[in-house]
Amino acid sequence: MSYDCYCDYEPADVYQATVRKARKEHSCDECGAKIIPGDRYENVFGVWEGSSSTWKTCAYCRDIRTWVNNNVPCLCWAHGNTMQDCRNAIEDASTRAPEETRGLRFGLLRRLASRDKFYAARRAAITTSQRAEK
């Protein structure tokens, strides 16, 4: 099967991605979850069309992006919209080759649910510990 890949996004003029261990609290620019001290996250500095930006991505969202990139012939993604771009790539691949991509949608939804369940449990634990302190 031939699969032409064309990404509509402009590539960055400067792009540096590093995986860090948080020393202070951050927020994931993809899912909005808290990145707390001790968590691993991806920190990206980039310059697009003369304007610089910094992006922080939690380990779960980074792993989801990597999984989709490994399983879909063409993943065009942009920071801040990665999860929707992953969904779109899987939908496109499923439309083009339904037999070869069986299970991809389920795999993505399973990973998204796992991420959301983890962060919901974390929020509940933090709320419980804050109540206990009062």
Give residue 27's domain range.
14-133
Query: Over the stretch 28-63, which tens digit does the pLDDT of each residue have?
Result: 999 999 999 999 999 999 999 999 999 999 999 999
Residue 58 included in any domain:
yes
- Quick one: pLDDT at residue 20? 97
Residue 67 included in any domain:
yes
Residue 82 included in any domain:
yes
Residue 5 included in any domain:
no
Q: What is the domain count for the chain?
A: 1
Phi, psi of 41 (to 5 degrees): -150, 160
Residue 59 included in any domain:
yes
Higher pLDDT, 126 or 31: 31
CATH number at residue 33: 3.30.1740
Give the separation between CA 90 and CA 77, rounded to whole angstroms: 12
Beta strands in 49-102 (DSSP E): 51-58
Residue 2 included in any domain:
no
Angle at CA 31, nearest 5°, toward 54 and 67?
90
Question: Facing residues of 47 across strands?
Answer: 14, 52
Question: Are the C-beta atoms of 57 and 29 separated by less than 8 Å?
Answer: yes
For the entire predicted model, the pTM comes to 0.88
Query: Over the stretch 61-120, which tens digit does the pLDDT of each residue have?
Result: 999 999 999 999 889 999 999 999 999 999 999 998 888 888 999 999 999 999 999 999
Residue 9 included in any domain:
no
Residue 133 has pLDDT above 80, yes or no: no
Residue 88 included in any domain:
yes
